Amino acid sequence: MAAADGETVALRTEVAALRLRVLELQRENQRLAQIASTCTCGCKEDTVPPSPVASANLYGCDQEVHKGKPHECTSSVHDCNGSVGGHSDVPKIRRNRANRTGHQVGTVSHCQKRLIALKIMYFGQRFYGFASEAQTEPTIESEIFKALERARLLVSSRKDSCYSRCGRTDKGVSATGQVISLYLRSNMKDAGGNTLDEGSEIDYVRVLNKSLPRDIRVIGWCPVAADFLARFSCLGREYKYLFWKGDLDTSKMQKAASKFIGEHDFRNFCKMDATNVSNYKRRITDFDISACDQRSNDDELWAMTIKGSAFLWHQVRCMVAVLFLIGQGLESPFVVESLLDITKSPRKPQYTMAPELPLILRSCLFDKVSFMCSSGASQALIEHFKDEYHQYMLQAAIFYEALSCLSIPEPNSFESHQKKRNHIPLISRQTEPSYEERTAKVKAKSAVLS
């Protein structure tokens, strides 16, 4: 009986404590409500017409020519002249736990915004490509948006930020000149248009690089006009593919590479996507193969530099693969002409495309876009790249040390001769389905589903 009385007293004491806590919370709620009612922060919405432009490209750098009207954002503008970090008025953050990439989204909802183009460098070895649609992480894009959220630079969701990317590089591919555009928070009272005011604006390069992983860096930014889209405003792209010369006949490779220049149908030099792409004509403006003035293990580093207005999915790696076969003496330079003639070769022969690691999206060309970087941020970038370069050189030295412990056999000319004997010419190989066969299959499948 005494034990029951003791439990009753304890429960009554706990209930009394809970009542006191409820009263304290009610008083705190009233105090916060009073503060909120006296707040004078203005909130003026400026609705912008919805975008007529489709979502960002699905494959490669560019698949189809954009024929829509200028792209405009659908998010609203809020008056707030806050700066990133250290501002006394902490901006409100809207959290969205249903984000597809699995991390919380923090957006500053009471700030001025402006359309910004960012120039980005990344070393792609550990990433599953640039775009995050594949649902596999890490991707460069997912890391960039995590950094934007941590820095509180987003003024709306990714969907409403008018985000556009110039190119969608594949798994393992790197870039020194990738470009994206989107609306970001701004310190400018009148942040519209593409007015340059580096001194009073947020140092986007410095702020973002503090939040990005070491193998991704923003190297420049530029305010752009409201109709700017990183994908469709791009006038040209430049790729570079690095390789060791070895025994390759680079003169034959250059002779064959020159046949790519001009407008051609590249369906035999890409991964065909008949569902989304109907036009496989692309224009190559320059294709140069030259030495890089770097040597290692009695070999010389070379590079293929390819310039064009737009590229198909895996187009560069397919062109490089065929050129390597030519450089090895396994194919004639004239095989390029045969594969570009879709009347003679309507189906792509089966061959393995070149590895992804040596491929770099070197630059993207725009009209009246001049990327800038503050002196402090520029110096930090130089020190960062020097440090990364030294770290990778140390790793290379370790592998070279291991190599020096082995006895290297003499070159076997028989193996090279045997490889040529076993080689099946591209024109004689089994082929993939043609574009017409692929589209017929897609239509038949759609008819069954309907």
Q: Which residues are marked as active site?
A: 170
Q: Which of 369, 233, 235, 229 is nearest to 310 (CA)?
A: 235
d(CA 175, CA 120): 7
> What is each CA distance from 224 to 41, 162, 193, in whole angstroms?
28, 12, 6
Q: Cβ atoms within 10 A of the Cβ of 433, count?
A: 15
Q: Which of 263, 258, 307 is nearest to 281 (CA)?
A: 263
> Backbone phi, then psi, for 194, in 5-degree steps?
-120, 40
Cα angle 263, 443, 134; round to 5: 70
Q: Cβ atoms within 10 A of the Cβ of 26, count?
A: 10
Residues whose CB is less than 8 angstroms from the CB of residue 110 and which lie 6 or more positions away in sequence, other chains included: 41, 43, 78, 79, 80, 82, 91, 92
Alpha carbon of residue 42 to chain centroid: 37
The DSSP string of 332-357 is -TTHHHHHH-TTT--SPBP-PPPPST
227: Cα within 13 Å, side-chain hemisphere = 6
Q: Which of 335, 304, 300, 312 is nearest to 423 (CA)?
A: 335
Cβ neighbourhood burial of 224 (10 Å; 0-12, 13-18, 19+): buried
Per the CB < 8 A criterion, the answer to whether 315 and 304 are in contact is: no
Cα angle 398, 399, 400; round to 5: 90
Instruction: Locate the DSSP E strands across 27-168.
Output: 93-96, 105-108, 113-122, 164-165
Per the CB < 8 A criterion, the answer to whether 110 and 77 are in contact is: no
Q: Which of 282, 369, 321, 274 is nearest to 61 (CA)?
A: 282
> What is each CA distance from 135 to 142, 164, 237, 254, in whole angstroms?
10, 18, 27, 39
- Pairing status of strand 281-296 against strand 299-308: antiparallel
Residue 220, beta-bridge partner list:
119
